[in-house]
């Protein structure tokens, strides 16, 4: 039986990095991880979804949708949520080589 790495499996089933299907998968995975962190932080801070919503200025349903990765959210709302949870967020930007042709 031949074993295969997770990266090889992703390449085979989703396509190589940079293809639309693979990029969509990777983006959804990142959003899912972010949503999980929000949920964990909220619970760690002993806040209900309703209480967090009040702190942020959104409805409880929006917090629920975000935590369950079922809705769209703006970066501004994400930043408000993390600020309300007293959590610092940093973004990393990876630059690729660029040449004007």
Look at residue 46 and tell me whether its pLDDT is greater than 90.
yes
pLDDT at 12: 79
Question: How many residues are there in the chain?
Answer: 101
- Given a contact cutoff of 8 angstroms between Cβ atoms, the answer to whether 49 and 60 are in contact is yes
Fold of domain 18-84: 434 Repressor (Amino-terminal Domain) (1.10.260)
Render pLDDT for 76-91 as a digit per residue (tens, 0 to 9).
888 899 999 999 888 7
Cβ contact 81:38 at 8 Å: yes
Tokens matching residue 94 = 């990876």
List helix spans (H) across 6-59. Answer: 6-14, 20-44, 49-56
Say which residues have a Cβ less than 8 Å from residue 64's Cβ, sequence separation at least 6: 49, 70
pTM metric for this prediction? 0.68
């Amino acid at each position: 039986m031949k074993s295969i790495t997770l990266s090889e499996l992703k390449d085979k089933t989703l396509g190589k990095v940079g293809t639309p299907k693979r990029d969509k998968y990777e983006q959804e995975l990142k959003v899912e991880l972010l949503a999980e962190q929000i949920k964990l932080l909220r619970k760690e801070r002993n806040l209900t979804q309703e209480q967090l919503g009040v702190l942020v200025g959104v409805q409880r349903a929006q917090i629920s949708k975000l935590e369950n990765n079922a809705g769209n959210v703006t970066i501004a709302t994400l930043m408000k949520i993390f600020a309300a949870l007293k959590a610092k967020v940093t973004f990393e930007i990876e630059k690729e080589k660029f040449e004007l042709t």
